[in-house]
Structure 1
Amino acid sequence: MTTDERVQVLVVGAGLGGLSATLFLAQRGVRVLGISKHGGTSTHPRATGQHHRTMELLRTGGVADEVLQGSEGVDGLVIKVAESLRGPVLHTIVHDGEDPASALSPERPGLSGQEHVEPVLLDRARALGADVRFRTELTSFEQDGTGVTARLLDRTTGRSSTVRADYLVAADGAHSPVRQALGIERTGRGRLSSHIGIVFDADLDDVLAHDRFTLFYLRNPAFTGVFVASNTPRRNAMAVEYDPTRESPADYPPSRCAELLRVATGLPDLEPEIVETTTWEMAHWVSTRLRDGRVFLVGDAAKVTPPTGGLGGNTAIGDGFDIAWKLAAVLRGEAGPGLLDSYDAERGPYARLVADGSLNNYVRRMAPHLAGPDIPDPVDPHQLTLGYRCRSRAVLIDDDDPAPMEDPFQPSGRPGFRAPHVPLGDRSPADFFGDWTLITLDPAWRDAPVRVPELADPTGELARRFGIGARGASLLRPDGVVAWRTAEPPDDPAGAVRDVLARLLG
């Protein structure tokens, strides 16, 4: 088969996961081609919100400020379970409270929607040298011991071409043709509900505050659904559950959608402009593995989670960052291929926690009739986003604690956990995420073959939280995870770090 072009990584899909992987690969000098069968980035106000950890990763990619601009002027968050926007409130989840996690990260969370974030990621990826093509579909692929050969279809011209890549990243959505072609199975509760999505324009000044991001889980006698306001003036979205065995999308013409919106908003005279209606499925699936040879699953291809909790898009961005720094290290000859085993080992259990926690949220917020012993336990969102422990050969864990998470408000600084946040004047440890970095107060480590910033610790807080004392050191991976630490310097500190890196990088 004749190869028309050669790249190091082919990324299939240009949603949050695919564009993140493409951006972070390009940032590390990898020749990357990203493709999407769609005509462009998402226009839907969904996957809204970026938690602190996501913003830390986006900061390393140089796009944090641009992402935050998508929620400029929005200073608060309102999440409720109610009959309607003006009707009885069944439960308030968040209402204008202070962010308790603000002390855990130098980054503030974002409230931007996917329709704003994706173009930001796309522009940055292209500025860094990535080739991203829309209306380009993967029609088949084969992998061997040295790479992946993919056949692409230009949906505009009808022309087929062949690309040879060292690796393929599958970010091709919940129904991932790549995952299906590989025969990777999924486990979970499966389909939970089907929805009609309604994007509409309307003046909702009487029921919405301009400076608050508003999300309502609606349990109305007439329907069950979700309402979300976007950051685009007058633009909002609602999804209502429907039974596809009894109805079809054709049963939801603009007139019926408008009536549902009047009930949902509590505004009987509302005249909404229906922009678009779509169908989508809420489900709970986790792939049994996230890697097959030279192919890796990210985002919804790896797991499908209810949006209750807002972790789907955040996890996709985290997947993209993780696979990017690891692939780049291997492609640049800095690591052996064994490093890539850590992607499945670390992101697989995380995907399960995200999916299970979101399923618990769905049952409590939207489907109490499903409650029972087979529903997973709730997952603390702060522990999940800032206290998850990575376990793989890319971390040298020095204890036998089996817990998958810890309380980030009481960080231990142990290997496998994200580096604790400690204010360092106008800096913090998160400023060093993106590269291998040694956190230490002892100049004896200054010749280590990684970045060693000069740090002062007048309060002793850094030494205490990292568990390194005055003479030890903590080695951070590019993702800010503590890979190794010691409280005492060895006879040859620089040599010790070289040996540790050799073990971590295979």
Structure 2
Amino acid sequence: MERVDVLVVGAGLGGLSASMFLAIEGVRVLTVERHPGTALHPRASGQTPRTMELYRFAGIDHEVLGVSKRASQGLRITVSSSLQGPVFHRIVEDLGEFDLSPATAAPWGMAGQDVVEPILLERARKAGADVRFSTELVSFEQDDDGVTAVVRSGGEETTVRASYLVAADGGRSRIREALGVPTTGPGAIAHSIGVVFDADLGDHLERDVTDLYYLQNQEFTGALTNTDTPGRYVFAVDLHPERGESRDDFPQERLVRLIRIATDLPGLQPEIRWTGAWEMAARIAERFSVGRVFLVGDAAKVTPPTGGMGGNTAVGDGHDIAWKIAAVVRGDAGPGLLDSYEAERKPIAEMVVGTSLHNAKERMFPDLDLSGAPEPVDQVALTLGFRYRSGAVLADDDDRLENPVEPSGRPGFRAPHLPTATGSTWDFLGHGWVLFGTAGWREPAEAVRAETGIALAYRERGTDFDDPGDVFGLGDGGASLVRPDGIVAWRAGEVADPAGTLWDVLARVLSR
């Protein structure tokens, strides 16, 4: 029997992110994936600055940017009948419309899933993760002390004993189904045939930017975009099973004809590299955890791709559960900390799915009935202005979102990004807890760190960073405690017993 701290099932963006961050934290992690390798389809392309902040914690942000050179050039999103046909709506003209540099030191990325996953895999393995492809989960059962699973590779079965199981096995998660966790939401809203093809489109698409077209043509509804590989494109066309259509109704000849219509190039000879049927759906698991099993990525929620938030949310899920499990495994936190995973990540999933549905109606399906859907959320606020509410945050007000360019420093929101002599206050984050304080908090922080053994760094205003506008909200004698994910857990003004207060705060947010 193999023994590990965590078994991760699935090696997509969510699973590999969880594996990478767990391994970086020193957690023994085994990841199994039934497919023979990482994704071949660009699929979930694009990284928000929040995702790039997390990648920065892992030290792979520059690698991801290196394979997404289009990010530095811009983004264009258009609704039209074809590449050269009538333009119905220009949603985004340039990525500069989403300039978040006042709120973060991290840029946007535009890399496809096919080039990001190998980077995650390499970093995870370098940190010590055991990642096995062509290996599937056969069964699992959990008890009060852990999870016992059987995995199969090449016909040989192995029993694995883990303290926790992270289910990253996709939108049709067998683990979620085995747990009996239902999903809510409208379900399938469309079906598509996806195509990856190589061709010379000349100047029909911008070469050096991410150029995405939503196509509303008399013959089909679909989408077309470029990729990180020059001369390679992704095309999607609607499939209508309610009309009796199936994948077999889209042979290569028909796909070539539709690509020619989409590109306005009747003589084009595209070289088709990959085709596959997929379902556009909106579903959210009613629970994100059951006992010692945690759902991440598409296992927890499935969202329409309109808005590019699905993959980014999966990365966020993976990081969130990773640092929390690591804290429990190390003994820094009690198991109650893990309850904050669902409390924090499920509201994010709900906002992402709701906003993506509204985007889908605007860009592709004008007749989509959203009468029961929540109102869309401003995407900039959702990207960097979100707020966590859970036992791992000591907040005293109910605001859900804020303008990230005007941060408040309140608990539950991201820590403010302020310039320092060497870069940004965010350079201090991502490797444990950080106490941002005024004079008088250094000795209490060092005393609590020595007593608890928790990785707690101290940064003093006026020495390590300047905050003339008091964005952190420290006042004359206060402090702000920031979690390993860059979220403010607590802050207060001057207190009578700083060391005792800090010890009590850590005990509360870590369920010690």
Q: TM-score, normalised by structure 1?
A: 0.96
In 2 relative to 1, CA 161–370 (structure 1 residues): closer, same or farther, beyond 3 Å?
same
Report the Cα offset of residue 226 of structure 1: 1.2
> Aligned partners of 1:470 and 1:80: how far apart in 2?
50
Question: Which residue pairs with 2:329 in the alignment?
Answer: 331
> Aligned partners of 1:123 and 1:458: how far apart in 2?
34
Question: Which residue pairs with 1:242 in the alignment?
Answer: 239
- Kept in 1, the 8 Å contact 2:283–2:302? The answer is yes
- Kept in 1, the 8 Å contact 2:103–2:407? The answer is no
- Kept in 1, the 8 Å contact 2:70–2:210? The answer is no
Report the Cα offset of residue 456 of structure 1: 3.0
> Aligned partners of 1:375 and 1:356: how far apart in 2?
6
- Provide the secondary structure at the position in 1 that maps to 2:341: helix
In 2 relative to 1, CA 36–458 (structure 1 residues): closer, same or farther, beyond 3 Å?
closer
Q: How does 1:301-450 map to 2 (within 5 A)?
A: 301-399=299-397, 401=398, 403-434=399-430, 435-448=432-445, 449=449, 450=456
Q: TM-score, normalised by structure 2?
A: 0.95
Give the AA of the match of 1:499: D
Are 2:506 and 1:501 equivalent residues in the alignment? yes
Are 2:7 and 1:10 equivalent residues in the alignment? yes
Q: What whole-Å deviation, never above 9, does each CA across 1:260-309 have from its counterpart, x for those lacking one? A: 00111111111101111100000000000100000000000000000000
> Aligned partners of 2:308 and 2:25: how far apart in 1?
28
Question: Which residue pairs with 2:452 in the alignment?
Answer: none
Question: Which residue pairs with 1:453 in the alignment?
Answer: 459
Give the AA of the match of 1:466: F
- Kept in 2, the 8 Å contact 1:415–1:484? The answer is yes
Are 2:465 and 1:468 equivalent residues in the alignment? no
> Aligned partners of 1:495 and 1:458: how far apart in 2?
24
Report the Cα offset of residue 372 of structure 1: 5.0
> Aligned partners of 1:199 and 1:471: how far apart in 2?
58
Q: How does 1:62-141 map to 2 (within 5 A)?
A: 62-74=59-71, 75-98=73-96, 99-141=98-140
Q: What whole-Å deviation, never above 9, does each CA across 1:304-331 have from its counterpart, x for those lacking one? A: 0000000000000000000000000000
- Provide the secondary structure at the position in 2 that maps to 1:338: helix
- Provide the secondary structure at the position in 1 that maps to 2:471: helix
Report the Cα offset of residue 251 of structure 1: 1.3
Question: Which residue pairs with 2:281 in the alignment?
Answer: 283
> Aligned partners of 1:458 and 1:46: how far apart in 2?
41
> Aligned partners of 2:372 and 2:142: how far apart in 1?
39
In 2 relative to 1, CA 458–20 (structure 1 residues): closer, same or farther, beyond 3 Å?
closer
Q: What whole-Å deviation, never above 9, does each CA across 1:339-388 have from its counterpart, x for those lacking one? A: 00000111111111111111111111111112553343121011111111
In 2 relative to 1, CA 126–20 (structure 1 residues): closer, same or farther, beyond 3 Å?
same
Q: Which moved more, 1:410-419 or 1:304-313?
A: 410-419
> Aligned partners of 2:69 and 2:457: how far apart in 1?
34
| Structure 1 moving runs of 4+ over 4 Å | 457-460
Structure 2 unaligned regions, length at least 5: 450-455
Q: Residue 213 of structure 1: which of 190, 210, 232 is its match?
A: 210
RMSD: 1.5
Are 2:493 and 1:487 equivalent residues in the alignment? yes
Would you say how many aligned residue pairs link Structure 1 and Structure 2? 498
Report the Cα offset of residue 93 of structure 1: 1.1
- Provide the secondary structure at the position in 1 that maps to 2:509: helix
Report the Cα offset of residue 211 of structure 1: 1.3
Report the Cα offset of residue 227 of structure 1: 0.9
> Aligned partners of 2:466 and 2:148: how far apart in 1?
54
Are 2:47 and 1:42 equivalent residues in the alignment? no
Q: What whole-Å deviation, never above 9, does each CA across 1:428-462 have from its counterpart, x for those lacking one? A: 22212221001123243344022012443899646
Q: What whole-Å deviation, never above 9, does each CA across 1:382-408 have from its counterpart, x for those lacking one? A: 111111111111011123x2x321221
> Aligned partners of 1:49 and 1:420: how far apart in 2?
24
> Aligned partners of 1:97 and 1:172: how far apart in 2?
32
- Provide the secondary structure at the position in 1 that maps to 2:117: helix
Question: Which residue pairs with 1:21 in the alignment?
Answer: 18
Report the Cα offset of residue 162 of structure 1: 0.5
Report the Cα offset of residue 411 of structure 1: 1.6
- Kept in 2, the 8 Å contact 1:104–1:421? The answer is yes
Report the Cα offset of residue 255 of structure 1: 1.0
> Aligned partners of 2:20 and 2:37: how far apart in 1?
16
Q: What whole-Å deviation, never above 9, does each CA across 1:66-98 have from its counterpart, x for those lacking one? A: 111111255111111111111111111111251
> Aligned partners of 1:462 and 1:199: how far apart in 2?
52
Question: Which residue pairs with 1:146 in the alignment?
Answer: 145
> Aligned partners of 2:343 and 2:146: how far apart in 1?
22
Identity %: 55
Question: Which residue pairs with 2:292 in the alignment?
Answer: 294
- Kept in 2, the 8 Å contact 1:24–1:325? The answer is yes
Give the AA of the match of 1:441: T
- Kept in 2, the 8 Å contact 1:424–1:457? The answer is no
In 2 relative to 1, CA 38–496 (structure 1 residues): closer, same or farther, beyond 3 Å?
same
Report the Cα offset of residue 101 of structure 1: 1.4
> Aligned partners of 2:440 and 2:91: how far apart in 1?
48
Q: What whole-Å deviation, never above 9, does each CA across 1:444-492 have from its counterpart, x for those lacking one? A: 334402201244389964652111124211100000100000122x233
- Kept in 1, the 8 Å contact 2:419–2:465? The answer is no
Question: Which residue pairs with 1:199 in the alignment?
Answer: 196
